[in-house]
Amino acid sequence: MAGEEGPTTGSGLFELDAVVVGQPKRSRWRRYVGPALAVSTVQGTPLAWVTYTDDTYSVLTTTSGESIVRIEQFGPAKFRFTDAADREVGTAGARGFAKTRQLRLQTEQGRRLFLTRPGLLHVEWHLTETDPDGGPAPEILGRVTVSTIDSWIGLQQYVVEMGPRLDASERRTVVASVVCLHLLRRPPGASTAPA
């Protein structure tokens, strides 16, 4: 599931096997005014930016400014994804007290996926088609691994690996859900300590 050199268009972003979603590095001494998150290849080539328009909306755009996905947050842990034509292309939501333990996803075609962290101390989430808590261990379709890239400021980075059983529209839902995961772990305006 290694990443390849990335294309420059939004649709090509979702053909990659792996991308990195993370907070851009910034000066410790000056107020940061850039995008909230950057999406890049594993090798570091920038592909897209995520900006927060307000407390409800986030927008994923290519580095050239083309809108790819708009993420709307309903309540504390429910999200809806729309494309540039304002069509719904997926959803994500969490339930329960530990909202960063599992996200339930639905793709544009209606496929249900689960992004689940095996335990609260794990740094890796598993993408599966069935709920891991509901029976035998399901096949892992992808992984999201989080790390801290600047411990002083507390910047987070998510490596998103996606298997060949996911098409481009499903990968779009997974990448958008990682943005949601970041919002749940560190909401805009919250302290720098991750949940």
**115 vs 132, higher pLDDT:** 115
pLDDT of residue 194: 40
DSSP 8-state symbol, 171: H
Apex 117 CA angle, 111 and 102, nearest 5: 50
Q: Is the pLDDT of residue 4 over 60?
A: no
**97 vs 194, higher pLDDT:** 97
pLDDT-above-70 percentage for the chain: 87
Range 36-44 average pLDDT: 95
pLDDT of residue 101: 87
In angstroms, the CA 172 to CA 109 distance is: 12
In angstroms, the CA 139 to CA 131 distance is: 10
Measured torsion, CA atoms of residues 185, 187, 188, 191, in degrees rounded to the nearest 10: -70
Residue with tokens 């958008």: 176
pLDDT of residue 97: 62
| Average pLDDT value over all residues in the chain | 86
In angstroms, the CA 69 to CA 169 distance is: 11
CATH numeric code, 34-185:
2.40.160
pLDDT of residue 83: 94
- pLDDT tens per residue, range 67-107: 999 999 988 899 999 999 999 999 999 986 666 789 999 99
Q: Is the pLDDT of residue 10 over 70?
A: no
Range 120-128 average pLDDT: 90
pLDDT of residue 35: 94
pLDDT band at residue 137, thresholds of 50, 70 and 90? confident
